[in-house]
Amino acid sequence: MSGPPTVWALIPIKASGEGKTRLADALSVAERDALVDAMARHVAGAAAGAERVSRIVLAGPSRHGLDADILRIDDPGEGLNAALGSALARIARMEACPDRLIVVAADLPRITPLDLNLLAEAPAHTAVIAPDRHGTGTNALSLPLPEAAGFHFCYGTDSAARHREEAERLGLTVETILSEGLEKDIDEPSDLVDARDVYTIEH
C-alpha cells in the first residue's frame, strides 16, 4: 500500500536589490531588501510547518538568508515564467520527483501552514489556483506531477485566468482556493499594513 502523495513547495525569489520596486516611494532599497528577506523567511517557515509539505525548493539567484541546505535552482535570467519553467522541468526529471508541486509567492506575510496544507491536499489530476486579493493575479499554484510537467507559467496580466486556461489545456480539473493568507501579497505601499507582523517599518 502506497503512502500519501509527496508534496514539495517551490518559492521563486529575485536577486537582492530587485524586489518590490513599486514600494520605492515608501521604502529605501535597504528597507525593501529587509522586507523581502523577512517575507521569504515567513513563507519558507510556513512551508516547513506544513505537515503535508516534505521539501522546500528555491528558484532564483539568491537565498535571501534562507538555510543553505534548501535546494536552490538557478534562474536562467529570462524572467519569472522562464525561471519557474526551468525549475519545474528540473524537478520533473528528478528520480525522487514529488507527486505534487506547490508554487508559492515569496511575498505572502499572512500565509500559514494551513494554507500550504490546503494546497497540498488537492485531489489527483487537479490543479489549484490561489488568486491575489484582486482576483486576477496568481499567488500560488498547486500542480500534480507528472501530469503538469509541461505546464507553461503565465505570470503577468490576468495570470489567474491564463493559468486556468493552461491547466485546462493539459486536461486537468481546476479548483480555486481563497484565503486571507494566500490573497494578501505585498505590491503597493497600501499593502504594507499586511506585512507588519513580519517586518517593522521604522518611520
Q: Delimit the domains of the chain by residue range.
A: 7-195
Average pLDDT estimate for 58-76? 84
Fold classified for 7-195? Spore Coat Polysaccharide Biosynthesis Protein SpsA; Chain A (3.90.550)
Q: For residue 121, what pLDDT is reported?
A: 96
pLDDT band at residue 2 under the 50/70/90 scheme = low
Q: In what order do the strands lie in the sheet with 7-12?
A: 71-73, 55-59, 7-12, 100-104, 138-144, 126-131, 173-176
- The three grid cell numbers given for residue 34, joined into one nine-digit string: 529587509
pLDDT at 172 over 90: yes
Q: Reduce the DSSP state of residue 139 to 3 states and report it.
A: strand
Residue of 66 and 117 predicted with greater confidence: 117
* pLDDT 10s digits, 19-34: 788 898 889 989 998 9
Q: For residue 126, what pLDDT is reported?
A: 98
**Averaged pLDDT score across all residues of the chain:** 92
